[in-house]
Amino acid sequence: MREAPTAPDPPDVPLAALYRAGLAESVHRGRYAVCDAGGGLLDSGGETGEPVWVRSSAKPFQALPLVVSGAAGALGLTDEELVVACGSHGGEEAHVATVRSILGKAGLSEEALQSGAHPPLNGAASRALARAGGSPRPVHGNCSGKHAGMLALCSYRGWETASYLDRDHPVQREILGAVSRMCGLDEREVLIGGDGCGAPAFALPLRSLAAGFARLASCAAPEPFGAAADRVRRAMGGHPFMVAGTGRLDTRLMQGAEFVCKSGAEGIFTAGLPDGTGLAIKVSDGSGRALEPAALSLLGRLGAEPLPEPDTVVRDLHGAEVGSLGTLV
């Protein structure tokens, strides 16, 4: 494992712009890669060979050891439980109950979670918690499913749980192996940092990330992850609500669609199509505002369907239309 170096920002391209009265007010730049399952670069914009922090887009890969080890089967994890381990959930009632169910099946309590606490990302769930006089707990955080999956694997393997976030803990070593193999890299080529939830974060070339999602979506995962990747793909497609939640990008995109997708913090979006095409986008300024139009445009070019209509209208405080958000790719 290498530490992240200090380096200048790689070249990027315009992805989306905000227009007001026909004049571009803001332009969001970034880079994207479209790859096949063999790692071939089919389309790109900007530099795709330099590492980017992939953040939560790695979660479907991070869940693979839970399946390939036999833990998911032995503990009787449902597809919904597997998906919440792959997701960045909104803290809605069903999400929280599902995370608690994983922990219960693993013989663990919420106290084992070391994912940190923040209010639910879903506004209604956050307000309901506050009205009830509750305070955010780790189980309400968007990464609690991922952490519950890590803890479930520890329980199944008999590994201690107090240090499960340490980079050298066996569960993190297995996760690093899954991320690197799925993305066609040697473990030493993956940069390691710290994520917001305290778990290791990974940085790798954007084209490698796109290729990893192509493999996930097309039954082309390297062994021993083939059957596990197939279960993750089918589970995510069957239960998109558990990936994110009401009104959020990943859930809206996957509802009724055949592709899988997973976004991440600081402007990361990834998708895999059943024809073996993978897409990875990085918005250089980390803007979530630019991510949806860029993702919809590029997914449309790849023939993904059905896609929701983008909401491109910018309104003032009175509800009047004053501008629009447009894609540049």
Residue 70 near residue 156 (C-beta atoms within 8 A): yes
Q: What is the pLDDT of residue 55?
A: 98
Q: What is the mean pLDDT of residues 237-255?
A: 97
Whether 2 shows a pLDDT value over 80: the answer reads no
Q: What per-residue string of b and e applies to 85-97 under the rule 16 or more CB within 10 Å gives b?
A: bbbbbbbbebbbe
Is the whole model's pTM more than 0.85, yes or no? yes
| In the chain, where the domains are located | 2-327
Is residue 5's pLDDT more than 60? no
- Chain segment 267-319, per-residue pLDDT in tens: 999 999 999 999 999 999 999 999 999 999 999 999 999 999 888 899 999 99
d(CA 223, CA 177): 12
Name which CATH class applies to 2-327.
Answer: alpha beta
pLDDT at 258: 92
Helices (H), the chain: 59-62, 64-68, 71-74, 79-86, 93-105, 123-131, 144-157, 170-182, 206-217, 226-238, 249-254, 288-301
What residues contact residue 128 under an 8 Å CB cut-off, 6+ apart? none
- Is pLDDT above 70 for 326? yes
pLDDT digits 0-9 by tens, 93-143:
999 999 999 999 999 999 999 999 999 999 999 999 999 999 999 999 999
What pLDDT score was predicted for residue 311? Answer: 84
